[in-house]
Structure 1
Amino acid sequence: MRIISGEFKGRRITAPKKLPVRPTTDMAKESLFNILNNSFYFDEISVLDLFSGTGNISYEFASRGTQHILAVDANFGCIKFINETAESFKMPIKTIKSDVFKFLENTKQQHTIIFADPPYNFDIEAFSKIPELVFTNSLLETNGLLIIEHSKHTDLSNLENYSNSKSYGGNMFSFFELQ
């Protein structure tokens, strides 16, 4: 994976093969950030990266100037890799090793953007629990955005606070916001 833009543009990051991850493709990531670039000043936002895996999305936000990034993943190897990478690049990424659903049930901290990249094999009930917890617990700041990455074979358009989706190859991003 590589960082698309910002201070660390072009830098390649190689994650250990043993991590249980499926990083967002560079093409999909670039398209997502083109959308976000039109709505947010990256140096003024707070980001929560759920199911953060390799930290791919967190690194992109950090490279673009975001100073408040929290990455949450249940896998110790993923958290360790993100910590090591963030430290080597001197990126302001904090990590929490936790089950994402338990984290969302217990946190009160609000964020401008919440990005979730759960396993593509989640059933619709598991996917629906993400926006349910985010909105029930008021975890988005005013004008904030929840983005869930998923397979194009999963339809999240019936979930509450759904706004729209964008498809890039086999990847899909569904956007949720307070209506």
Structure 2
Amino acid sequence: MRIISGKFKSKRITAPKKLPIRPTTDIAKEGLFNILNNTYNFTELNVLDLFAGSGNICYEFASRGCSQITAVDKHYNCIKFINQTSSALGIQINTIKKDVYTYLKSANQSFNLIFADPPYDFTIDQFEEIVQLVFDQKHLKEDEGVLIIEHPKTTPLSSLAYFSDERRYGGSVFSFFKK
């Protein structure tokens, strides 16, 4: 995987093969960040990355000037890799080793943007629980916050509450949720 744009443009990051990850493809990531680039000033964003895995999305935000990034993943080796990589890049990412659902139920922070990339074998009910927890627990800043969920095209999320839009890139879909 590589960082698409910003301070670390073209920097390659190689995650250990033992990590339980499925990184967002470069083409999908470039499409997503083209949308975000036209909507947000990255230096002002407070971002939460759920199911952070290798930290692929976190590095992209940091490369574009975002300094308030929190990454949540339940796997120790994923958190360890994010910490090592962010240290090597000279950036700060707040890492939390915790199950995403447990985190969403207990955290009391709100964010401008929440990105979730759960396993592709999730059921519609599991995706819906993420959406409900984010909105019920008020994890998005009022009137400006957005939740983006990456999921397979075989699991449409347009019927879920707060759905506003989706963008497709190959077999991946980014669904956007807003108040």
* Superposed counterparts of 1:2-17, under 5 Å: 2-17=2-17
Cα offset for 1:63?
0.3
TM-score when normalising by structure 2: 0.99
Q: Deviations over 1:21-44 (max 9, x none)?
A: 000000000000000011100000
Q: Does 1:22 align with 2:28?
A: no
Q: Name the residue aligned to 2:60.
A: 60
| CA root-mean-square deviation | 0.5
Q: Distance in 1 between matches of 2:83 and 2:17?
A: 17
TM, length-normalised to structure 1: 0.99
Moved over 3 A (4+): none
Q: CA separation in 1, counterparts of 2:130 and 2:165?
A: 16
Alignment partner of 2:147: what SS?
A: strand
The Cα of 1:92 is off from its aligned counterpart by 1.7
2:158 alignment counterpart: 157
Structure 2 spans left out of the alignment, 5+ residues: none
Partner residue, 1:49:
49
User: What letter matches 1:147 in structure 2?
Assistant: I
Q: Percent identity?
A: 58
Structure 1, unpaired ranges of 5+ = none
- Name the structure 2 match of 1:166: 167
* Structure 1 residues 117-173: Cα deviation after superposition (integer angstroms, max 9, x where no partner): 000001111110011000001110131110000000001111100001100000100
Q: Map of 1:16-165 to 2, 5 A cutoff? A: 16-142=16-142, 143-165=144-166
SS of match in other structure, 1:167: strand
